């Protein structure tokens, strides 16, 4: 509660109702460039879908902006062109868990939820980087849902995929030890980063996984002793992919 209001007070907030720096996107060509990260949406897009995209406005949002929170209503759908958004839930004791991230090519399903059901949901979304997005007003979103088969497919896919992802989250919390969850997270990050060092602080990682900084420090240090990783200020270097894989499979419990 206090965490939320302090954020809202002290940081730049753009309610979806008042997009800042919105401008029309003119030619189709330009659109295709902006949306090249949405291949599943674009490649099969039908006319109705293009209609919607042509009516979208481009909007710039600085890093750290709260896009929605608590009981906020969404008046727009946002397609992210550049940058990324973190969607998370915070606890009354000041801890956090990341639920998922929205990157170019993806939709914020809670944004969708809000648009479809008209229900706000007590969760937060905040830009992690400067962001550029295409803003689609609610009525146009609904109309396109009616008219465009391709858009529909895209929306449905996104929703069901997120759902599976949420099941993974639940089962991690329910069954896996924290060291396992950290190892898996590292593994995944190293995989998509091709082994490049991960830039994150221990307390950020704690907020990612819904735990505390001290626990993360403790477990990362263990991993360093096992020579999976090497720690530096604000960075985690991969030392041995194999050892980390083992740790992430729950083996080598020590």
Binding site for DNA (CB under 7 A): 93, 177-179, 201-203, 210-215, 217-218, 220-221, 224, 231, 233-235, 253
Give which of a second copy, DNA, none residue 234 binds (C-beta under 5 to 8 Å, depending on kind).
Answer: DNA
Contact flag: residue 157 with a second copy (CB under 8 A): yes
- According to DSSP, the β-strands at 85-90 and 124-127 are antiparallel
Contact flag: residue 123 with a second copy (CB under 8 A): yes
Give which of DNA, a second copy, none residue 140 binds (C-beta under 5 to 8 Å, depending on kind).
Answer: none
How many residues form the binding site for a second copy (CB under 8 A)?
A: 39
Contact flag: residue 3 with a second copy (CB under 8 A): no
- Residue (141 or 190) nearer to a second copy, CB: 141
Nearest approach in angstroms of CB 208 to DNA is: 12
Give which of a second copy, DNA, none residue 18 binds (C-beta under 5 to 8 Å, depending on kind).
Answer: none
Which parts of 16-35 interact with a second copy (CB under 8 A)? none
Contact flag: residue 92 with a second copy (CB under 8 A): yes
- Give the per-residue contact string, 179-208, with a second copy (x = CB under 8 A; - = no): ------------------------------
- Residue (99 or 198) nearer to a second copy, CB: 99
Which parts of 57-86 interact with a second copy (CB under 8 A)? none
- Residue (60 or 212) nearer to DNA, CB: 212
CA angle (62 as vertex; 203, 138 as ends), nearest 5: 110
């Amino acid at each position: 509660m206090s965490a939320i209001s302090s954020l809202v007070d002290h940081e730049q907030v753009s309610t979806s109702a008042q997009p800042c720096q919105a401008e029309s996107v003119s030619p189709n060509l330009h659109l295709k460039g902006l949306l090249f990260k949405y291949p599943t949406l674009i490649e099969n897009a039908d006319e109705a879908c293009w209609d919607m995209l042509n009516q979208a406005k481009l909007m710039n949002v600085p890093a750290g902006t709260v896009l929605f929170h608590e009981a906020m209503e969404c008046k727009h759908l946002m397609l992210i062109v550049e940058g990324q958004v973190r969607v998370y839930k915070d606890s009354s004791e000041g801890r956090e868990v990341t639920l998922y991230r929205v990157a170019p090519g993806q939709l914020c399903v809670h944004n969708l939820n809000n648009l479809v059901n008209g229900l706000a949901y007590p969760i937060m979304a905040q830009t992690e980087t400067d962001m550029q997005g295409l803003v689609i007003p609610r009525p146009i979103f609904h109309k396109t849902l009616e008219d465009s088969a391709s858009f529909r497919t895209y929306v449905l896919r996104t929703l069901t995929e997120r759902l599976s992802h949420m099941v993974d989250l639940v089962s991690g919390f329910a069954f896996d030890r924290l060291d396992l969850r950290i190892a898996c997270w590292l593994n995944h990050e190293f995989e998509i980063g091709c082994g490049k060092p991960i830039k994150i602080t221990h307390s950020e990682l704690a907020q990612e996984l819904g735990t505390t900084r001290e626990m993360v420090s403790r477990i990362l240090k263990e991993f360093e002793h096992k020579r999976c990783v090497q720690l530096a200020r604000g960075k985690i270097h991969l030392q041995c992919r194999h050892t980390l894989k083992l740790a992430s499979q729950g083996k080598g419990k020590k």
